[in-house]
């Protein structure tokens, strides 16, 4: 793909400013396009800010700095606090704003629904979904946090597999131990120390046990085995590489189980809840087996576990936007391509919004690669030439005869494009005015919340002085 500056009057809209969205904005800006990035949050960082537990300080700060460097460019307009589908109608954005293309990079924020009967009455009390749980964990220390609050209980069960589920169960055990160490022993240990050193080491150093602290272990329930957990990716598709990755995944899980002191139940799926006095009290698990790679329930084979709180960590899907087409929970794509959205000529999707995977590097690569393809195949004159050469000589001859009239239309459109550009500038400026938004740097500085590590550092400094 060659860089060009001839499209500066063309505006591209990107919905979502995090990993894949900022990557797309950067690629477009570097190729001369003008870009508007809409984000539903104050900050463009997505799950780097709200879905990655806040002990990942270095990873978070590194990714945030990278996103800032990509979005803080002259020909990129960042428009926060705007949720497409709510604040701006999607079809209106497509038809009336004048964008040459719209790229969906809105990630996956909606938790997959637990397929267990009678969960509704327990939601956000005894049953919690991962996205809101981690958001609470990350922001509960902020003085202006007004989101949902959770009280973590003994005998918590986490459903799911993979790194996200391990983060969730680590949060549960760290929060329980941190609280009980202080209440029972007067020992105040910050979560960063608990996460780094591990619960087992902290208990041993402080001469205590979970039992003495009155803590019942949390339990991770997974429908497959430990070596099926996607904790380690194979280097390639060779059988040896895949098997080696499985062994590493199993070792990693066993290490987590010991270090953070939780139980692990494999080959099980939740099928029914038990309750007592209106509160969740237990969970019925059906045993399963793996046949030809598929999870198959074993008939009449069940176990019951005590469960006072249930946290679902079975994955996230994109929130549906009215006006777009979906197949079940997935965005419907055109001609089985992995970037062109069904039903639209100029709407595309990148990153977790279409792949369904939240891996940072995968989202970054997908955002870059797909945006380069979108430019080359849909947003350049070369795209028209490539289309032309795919037709036979007779069709090419007919099209060439019409080129003069097409060129005249292009000249008219160039005049109109200045009006369209100004209209986009006016509409986005009106949103900025309502928010008191001035520059990207000022907005980020004003709205980045106080970090927990800074609070703890200040507290330690006060103790030393």
Note the pLDDT of residue 463.
62
Q: How would residue 8 be classed by pLDDT, with cut points 50, 70 and 90?
A: low
**Going by C-beta distance under 8 Å and a sequence separation of 6 or more, which residues neighbour residue 11?**
33, 34, 35, 36, 98, 99, 100, 420, 421, 424
- Structural domains in the chain plus CATH codes: 11-109+318-452 (3.40.50.720), 111-316 (3.50.50.60)
Note the pLDDT of residue 357.
67
Predicted confidence (pLDDT) per residue in 42-61, tens digit: 999 999 999 999 999 999 99
* Whether the predicted pLDDT of 24 surpasses 70: yes
Predicted confidence (pLDDT) per residue in 309-345, tens digit: 999 999 888 889 999 998 888 889 887 667 999 999 9
* Whether the predicted pLDDT of 187 surpasses 50: yes
* Whether the predicted pLDDT of 404 surpasses 60: no
Note the pLDDT of residue 418.
78
Are the C-beta atoms of residues 35 and 14 closer than 8 Å to each other?
yes
Q: In what order do the strands lie in the sheet with 279-291?
A: 268-276, 279-291, 294-306
**Buried/exposed code over 402-417 (b: 16+ C-beta within 10 A; e: otherwise):** eeeeeeeeeeeeeeeb
* Whether the predicted pLDDT of 217 surpasses 60: yes
Note the pLDDT of residue 235.
87
Q: What is the mean pLDDT of the chain?
A: 89
Note the pLDDT of residue 417.
66
* Whether the predicted pLDDT of 401 surpasses 70: no
Q: What percent of the chain has pLDDT over 70?
A: 88
* Whether the predicted pLDDT of 413 surpasses 90: no
Predicted confidence (pLDDT) per residue in 345-395, tens digit: 999 999 887 876 667 888 899 999 999 999 988 887 665 455 444 444 444
Q: Which of 26-30, 112-116, 377-381, 443-447 has the lowest mean pLDDT?
A: 377-381
Note the pLDDT of residue 457.
84
Coil, strand or helix: which one is 304? Answer: strand
Note the pLDDT of residue 349.
94
442-459 average pLDDT score? 92
Of residues 222 and 230, the one with the higher pLDDT is 222
Judge residue 77's burial from the number of C-beta atoms within 10 Å of its C-beta, 0-12 exposed, 13-18 middle, 19 or more buried: buried
Note the pLDDT of residue 359.
77
Q: How would residue 175 be classed by pLDDT, with cut points 50, 70 and 90?
A: very high
Q: Cα–Cα distance between 38 and 17 in angstroms, integer?
A: 7
At 1, list the tokens: 């793909």
Note the pLDDT of residue 395.
42
**Going by C-beta distance under 8 Å and a sequence separation of 6 or more, which residues neighbour residue 18?**
39, 44, 45, 46, 47, 48, 67, 105, 107, 351, 363
Of residues 419 and 95, the one with the higher pLDDT is 95
């Amino acid at each position: 793909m060659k860089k060009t500056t001839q499209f500066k009057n063309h505006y591209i809209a990107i919905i979502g400013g995090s990993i894949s969205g900022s990557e797309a904005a950067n690629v477009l800006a570097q190729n001369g396009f003008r870009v508007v990035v809409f984000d539903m949050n104050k900050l463009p960082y997505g799950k780097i800010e709200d879905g990655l537990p806040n002990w990942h300080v270095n990873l978070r700060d590194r990714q945030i700095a990278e996103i800032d460097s990509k979005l803080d460019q002259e020909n990129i307009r960042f428009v926060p606090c705007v949720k497409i589908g709510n604040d701006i109608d999607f079809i209106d954005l497509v038809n009336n704003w004048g964008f040459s293309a719209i790229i969906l990079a809105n990630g996956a924020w909606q938790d997959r629904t637990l397929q267990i009967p009678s969960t509704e009455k327990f939601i956000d009390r005894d049953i919690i979904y991962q996205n809101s749980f981690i958001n609470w964990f990350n922001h509960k220390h902020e003085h202006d946090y007004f989101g949902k609050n959770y009280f973590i209980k003994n005998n918590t069960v986490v459903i799911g597999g993979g790194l996200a589920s391990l983060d969730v169960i680590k949060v549960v055990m760290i929060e329980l131990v941190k609280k009980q160490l202080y209440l029972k022993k007067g020992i105040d240990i910050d979560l960063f120390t608990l996460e780094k050193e591990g619960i087992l080491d902290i208990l041993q150093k402080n001469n205590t046990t979970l039992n003495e602290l009155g803590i019942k272990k949390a339990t991770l329930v997974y429908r497959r085995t430990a070596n099926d957990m996607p904790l380690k990716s194979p280097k390639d598709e060779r059988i040896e590489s895949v098997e080696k990755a499985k062994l590493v995944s199993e070792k990693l899980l066993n290490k987590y189980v010991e270090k953070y002191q939780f139980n692990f139940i494999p080959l099980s799926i939740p099928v029914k809840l038990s309750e007592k006095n209106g509160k969740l009290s237990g969970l019925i698990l059906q045993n399963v087996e793996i046949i030809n790679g598929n999870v198959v329930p074993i008939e009449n084979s069940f176990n019951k576990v005590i469960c006072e709180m249930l946290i679902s960590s079975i994955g996230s899907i994109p929130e549906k936007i009215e006006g777009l087409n979906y197949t079940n929970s997935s965005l419907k794509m055109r001609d089985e391509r992995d970037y062109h959205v069904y039903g639209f000529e100029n709407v595309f999707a990148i990153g977790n919004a279409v792949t369904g995977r939240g891996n940072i590097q995968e989202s970054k690569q997908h955002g870059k690669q797909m945006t380069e393809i979108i430019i080359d195949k849909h947003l350049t004159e070369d795209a028209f030439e490539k289309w032309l050469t795919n037709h036979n000589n007779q069709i090419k001859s007919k099209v060439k005869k019409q080129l003069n009239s097409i060129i005249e239309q292009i000249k008219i459109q160039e005049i109109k494009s200045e009006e369209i550009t100004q209209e986009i500038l006016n509409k986005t400026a009106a949103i900025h005015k309502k928010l008191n938004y001035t520059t990207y740097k000022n907005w980020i500085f004003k709205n980045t919340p106080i970090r927990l590590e800074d609070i703890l550092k200040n507290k330690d400094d006060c103790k030393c002085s």
